[in-house]
Amino acid sequence: MSAKIALITGGFTGEIEISLKSAAFVEQKLQTSRFDVYKIILTPESWYHVDDAGIKHEVNRNDFTLSLKDGLVKFDLAFIMIHGSPGEDGRLQGYLDMIGLKYTSCDTLTSALTMNKAYTKSLLQGIDGLYLAPSVCLSPATRAVSEINVKNELKLPYFVKPNGGGSSIGMTKVKQLDELSSAIDRALGTENAGKQVLVEEFVSGREFSVGIYNSKAGLKVLPATEVITTREFFDFEAKYIPGLTKEITPADLTNEQQGRVEQLVKEVYIRLNCKGLVRIDFFLERETDKFYFIEINTIPGQTETSFIPQQVRAAGLQETDFYTELIEQALVE
């Protein structure tokens, strides 16, 4: 009997359109006899599935089942494909834990912690060879004092970003002190990203993104992608507007650099108690050859041109086989 998979997408943030595109790609690759895939869309107003006839069916939120004309659908696994809240911040995972439904992503605690950039950096302190840009985290209540700390403790330029956001939404590169206040306002005003702001020193270097997942044979690191953008930094527009960014997979790294980043990725994955597939981003500082941690993404994008599908293909794998392995591993964990 085919396993019944709830491919959960949608979301509560500005990343909803990217989530829908990622889910469409995954759904296409999972059209095999091994799985019965039902796309479930979550919005603040409704959780629903649309059948082949175009009829909308609400999910029973008591047990996450679907009542269709052919009978009641009880799922074996949730394949989470929501970028941002509630799929990436632990809220959905907490619900799934309570009803006893397995899922493909990191658990509730890891998802919640890694959505908080300041907490994540605190947990990663002490990993040999991993560097963290100096930073200050502020909230509306501490803003006045924290702005003084930023000016006293950090060197320009700064990256100012929501502490709990994704896709670089609400992020600003600050080159002059008189730009700081408006950048903080922008970050604080980002929808569903929490009410904290992280201000970091800018690291000048090459940018890389690396996928890692728990395979049947243990942790497997995918080939790195180098990101080269014509923008000031890899912002939302650079990520999703064609032509603004060049992505090189596999990245041009020396054998020593490749071995070093693979070890760092594994260390981060283990330290944060990750599960399934995650993507970790780094800067390689030009002057020092040091790898600086940027962030971790526990629900990486899965469109045709996203980093992870690029890396899967560069590793010599087929996307269908890759997603199948993610599902099989989640079912036995």
Q: Which residue has the tokens 């604080």?
A: 188
Q: Which residues are annotated as a binding site?
A: 281, 295, 297
* pLDDT given at position 4: 97
Contacts with 167 (C-beta within 8 Å, 6 or more apart), sequence order: 14, 15, 18, 83, 84, 236, 239, 240
Least confident of 33-47, 120-134, 143-157, 262-276: 143-157
- pLDDT at residue 239 greater than cutoff 60: no
Query: Where residue 33 falls among pLDDT bands split at 50, 70, 90?
Result: confident
- Ordered by where they begin, the domains of the chain are 3-103 (3.40.50.20), 113-131+204-332 (3.30.470.20), 135-201 (3.30.1490.20)
pLDDT digits (tens, 9 = 90+) for 173-224: 899 998 999 999 898 877 655 689 999 999 989 999 999 999 999 999 999 9
pTM score of the predicted model: 0.91
pLDDT digits (tens, 9 = 90+) for 224-235: 999 987 655 544
- pLDDT at residue 29 greater than cutoff 80: yes
pLDDT digits (tens, 9 = 90+) for 88-141: 999 999 999 999 999 999 999 999 999 999 999 999 999 999 999 999 998 888
Q: Which residues are annotated as a binding site for Mg(2+)?
A: 281, 295, 297
Catalytic residues: 15, 167, 306
* pLDDT given at position 322: 97
Query: Where residue 40 falls among pLDDT bands split at 50, 70, 90?
Result: very high
- pLDDT at residue 241 greater than cutoff 60: no
- pLDDT at residue 65 greater than cutoff 90: yes
pLDDT digits (tens, 9 = 90+) for 137-160: 988 888 888 888 889 999 999 989
